[in-house]
Homo-oligomer: A and B are copies of this chain.
């Protein structure tokens, strides 16, 4: 089989399991492998095994018969209906259900994945990669659909905008969770057009720190955030996943304190004390403070050194020494960050959440705090510490002269800032440009090119090793040696895919949210920010597609109806933007810096009043935008309304027969009441007459009531009209 053919077919393989036995004894490895194959067979999976090379075998898995799968699909859909994700129960005949609503690829792969990984008690095979008794199962992944991938990338790289149908495609192939990321980024990209155009105009005509730009930008951020919430609901309904985030998935790692009987379901459930968890959650406070201090100190120190060297120091080697802080940052920041991230994860583990959703939310909050500090603190320092208080702080920076002492030629070069030292008003803008252009480009490169180079280098290294081994005489151990020739190309490809990394979509969402933060918090400093992001995000969307297709194993399709806790981060950044933007405008409007670079005429109360006013204006506008957006036409919600209406109608029709059996009040009730009254009257004459029966038997039927009433009305007029009285 030629190489190109290997990319044409996946051999009907649903999943591949990479089974690694490097660290296990032979006998155990064999026993566990047998158990693996048997477990898979027990849930109706067919398997084939091939050699995987370097202490691993590849186990190919597919569903043995479609009938089995349909049963699982039906069960999954019934579960959705019971949890309120679907308005109506799925049709009862399986074949019919699947014809009415065909299985899409992501759904198929998700259901098979769950069948393999769900606990045995829930009807799965219980195979959890890398965990517990399945430690040897290194990975469980589906194979890339190369024909589709090729089309996908070709289509996207040749179009400016993505249509909803393109996102539907992603959803059908890679599942809703990844589709939501692309939908979010696409939505953000489209929304960026306006601030990019307006920002360019503001840059040309309005100057820096324009209040007009600030207001428009804050409004835009608010509209975008609220619109995305609306959009999420719409897409959720469109993709039939609205409400899936409410289906709770228990975590395997949850440790209960004791077992109680659920008073409602009667099941035995493990519980963990809420107060105990609260106590553990309180650890977040010292953690956040420590992280802020550590990261803050590092950033502030490097910042101080940088200011000292570039603005105070006048000795030799200045061009070189300027790189010291950058060097320090690039060395220590990743270390510190990975240590803190690890701690955050452990802390979240320790908080012992019952469900995946709660765990993810808690982790995301911590990660967001870390990212917030590293991403925005440098700019915040410049804007709100360096510029307003620079004159007070910079003179103390000569403590850093120790660092450059060896290079100084005379004492003078080391002296503190001279009287004519002044704040560099361009620093803030340069910094914003660095974070919104340079850092974004670097980031994109790191994401795309580095893994590519790494992979290439690794392949080259292996090739060289093989060559060397061949030169040394002994044939290199070749995993492909026993491959059937017709499968060889296919197996080579699968072995390569097994080496790839696992894609984590939350990293990409985080990147977008943090980018949005720059726009919301600081774009007033440099109105071209949105232009840079527009270009960056166009590439980013395509680069992520390529990354998923080339650099990563095919991701397991998960469902989601939101971008999750990042939505809160988005709202938070929008709100914070209303504070920082107004403060920046007040501080720097008209480049209101005095002759020494120090902002002139700054009044504490005026600054606070500006911020206070701006924040409350923001609350008001957000409220208005929320109301306006809630009135927007939503095809998704309309679909949902239609579904629910149909279900109700069906219920009504089912109950109709029954309802008709019950006498309806409006039917000839007059006659009936008359009859029953007459019966009442008879009953009254038979038994003792009560005041009630006497009261109700004076008039018989409505005609008599009307007659008596007419009498009252006619006499009523007599009683009060004096003329008539006289006549009498």
B-contacting residues of A (Cβ < 8 Å)? 1, 9, 11-12, 19, 21, 26, 29-30, 33-34, 37-38, 40-52, 54-57, 59-60, 62, 64-65, 67-72, 74-75, 78, 82, 89, 92, 94, 115, 123, 263-265, 274, 474, 477, 479, 484, 486-487, 490, 603-605, 607-609, 611-612, 631, 638, 641-642, 645, 648, 651-652, 655, 658-659, 662-666, 669-670, 672-673, 676-677, 691-692, 694-696, 698-699, 701-702, 705-706, 708-710, 712-717, 719-720, 725
Residue in chain B with minimal CB distance to A1: B691
Residues of B within 8 A of A65 (CB): 672-673, 676
Task: Pick the 8 closest A-B CB pairs, nearest first.
Answer: A604-B605, A64-B673, A44-B669, A608-B608, A41-B702, A44-B665, A41-B670, A605-B605
Residues of B within 8 A of A479 (CB): 719
Residue in chain B with minimal CB distance to A616: B615
- Choose one: B40, B94, B662; the contact of A71 (CB below 8 Å): B662
Residues of B within 8 A of A9 (CB): 691-692
A706 near B48 (CB under 8 angstroms)?
Answer: no
Q: List 23 A-B contacts (CB under 8 A).
A: A12-B695, A21-B716, A30-B713, A33-B710, A41-B670, A43-B669, A46-B677, A48-B695, A48-B699, A49-B709, A57-B712, A64-B669, A71-B662, A71-B663, A75-B659, A78-B655, A123-B665, A264-B638, A477-B720, A487-B691, A487-B695, A608-B608, A608-B609
Residues A12 and B696 in contact in the complex (CB < 8 Å), given A264-B641, A710-B33: yes
Residues A699 and B49 in contact in the complex (CB < 8 Å), given A37-B709, A709-B59: yes
B638 near A698 (CB under 8 angstroms)?
Answer: no
Residues of B within 8 A of A59 (CB): 705, 709
- Choose one: B40, B71, B609; the contact of A702 (CB below 8 Å): B40
Q: Can you tell how many copies of this chain the complex includes?
A: 2
Interface centre among A43, A46, A55, A71 (most CB of B within 10 A): A46
- Choose one: B19, B694, B720; the contact of A55 (CB below 8 Å): B720
Residues of B within 8 A of A264 (CB): 638, 641-642, 645
Residues of B within 8 A of A652 (CB): 82
- Choose one: B34, B43, B694; the contact of A706 (CB below 8 Å): B34
B55 near A672 (CB under 8 angstroms)?
Answer: no
**In the bound complex, what is the Cα–Cα distance between A605 and B603 (angstroms)?**
8
CB of A698, distance to nearest CB on chain B (Å): 6
**In the bound complex, what is the Cα–Cα distance between A658 and B56 (angstroms)?**
43
CB of A725, distance to nearest CB on chain B (Å): 8
- Choose one: B1, B642, B677, B717; the contact of A64 (CB below 8 Å): B677
CB of A435, distance to nearest CB on chain B (Å): 26
**In the bound complex, what is the Cα–Cα distance between A66 and B38 (angstroms)?**
66
Residues of B within 8 A of A46 (CB): 673, 677, 696
- Choose one: B40, B486, B608; the contact of A694 (CB below 8 Å): B486
CB of A316, distance to nearest CB on chain B (Å): 45
Residues of B within 8 A of A21 (CB): 713, 716
- Choose one: B72, B484, B604, B645; the contact of A604 (CB below 8 Å): B604
**In the bound complex, what is the Cα–Cα distance between A717 and B715 (angstroms)?**
116
A651 near B82 (CB under 8 angstroms)?
Answer: yes
CB of A390, distance to nearest CB on chain B (Å): 20
CB of A40, distance to nearest CB on chain B (Å): 7
A274 near B631 (CB under 8 angstroms)?
Answer: yes
**In the bound complex, what is the Cα–Cα distance between A720 and B46 (angstroms)?**
30
CB of A269, distance to nearest CB on chain B (Å): 13
Residues of B within 8 A of A669 (CB): 41-45, 64, 68
A54 near B673 (CB under 8 angstroms)?
Answer: no
- Contacts A26-B714, A264-B641 supplied; 12 other A-B pairs, CB < 8 Å: A9-B691, A11-B695, A21-B713, A40-B702, A41-B701, A44-B672, A45-B673, A65-B676, A68-B664, A68-B672, A605-B607, A611-B612
Residues of B within 8 A of A33 (CB): 706, 709-710, 713
Residue in chain B with minimal CB distance to A664: B71
- Choose one: B51, B78, B484, B605; the contact of A716 (CB below 8 Å): B51
- Choose one: B51, B609, B659, B712; the contact of A49 (CB below 8 Å): B712
**In the bound complex, what is the Cα–Cα distance between A45 and B9 (angstroms)?**
76
Residue in chain B with minimal CB distance to A481: B719
A48 near B666 (CB under 8 angstroms)?
Answer: no
**In the bound complex, what is the Cα–Cα distance between A72 and B669 (angstroms)?**
13
Interface centre among A40, A44, A71 (most CB of B within 10 A): A44
CB of A330, distance to nearest CB on chain B (Å): 35
- Choose one: B74, B612, B672, B709; the contact of A57 (CB below 8 Å): B709
**In the bound complex, what is the Cα–Cα distance between A674 and B380 (angstroms)?**
66
Residues of B within 8 A of A645 (CB): 264-265
B71 near A708 (CB under 8 angstroms)?
Answer: no
Residues of B within 8 A of A40 (CB): 702
**In the bound complex, what is the Cα–Cα distance between A45 and B604 (angstroms)?**
74
Residues A11 and B486 in contact in the complex (CB < 8 Å), given A51-B716, A55-B720: no
B57 near A94 (CB under 8 angstroms)?
Answer: no
B54 near A720 (CB under 8 angstroms)?
Answer: yes
CB of A422, distance to nearest CB on chain B (Å): 25
B696 near A48 (CB under 8 angstroms)?
Answer: yes
**In the bound complex, what is the Cα–Cα distance between A603 and B60 (angstroms)?**
75
**In the bound complex, what is the Cα–Cα distance between A407 and B21 (angstroms)?**
109
**In the bound complex, what is the Cα–Cα distance between A123 and B662 (angstroms)?**
14
CB of A65, distance to nearest CB on chain B (Å): 5
CB of A103, distance to nearest CB on chain B (Å): 15
CB of A602, distance to nearest CB on chain B (Å): 10
B48 near A698 (CB under 8 angstroms)?
Answer: yes
**In the bound complex, what is the Cα–Cα distance between A665 and B41 (angstroms)?**
9
**In the bound complex, what is the Cα–Cα distance between A57 and B719 (angstroms)?**
13
Residues of B within 8 A of A486 (CB): 691, 694
Residues of B within 8 A of A691 (CB): 1, 9, 11, 486-487, 490
Residues of B within 8 A of A655 (CB): 78, 89
**In the bound complex, what is the Cα–Cα distance between A60 and B274 (angstroms)?**
58
Residues A673 and B44 in contact in the complex (CB < 8 Å), given A612-B608, A709-B57: yes
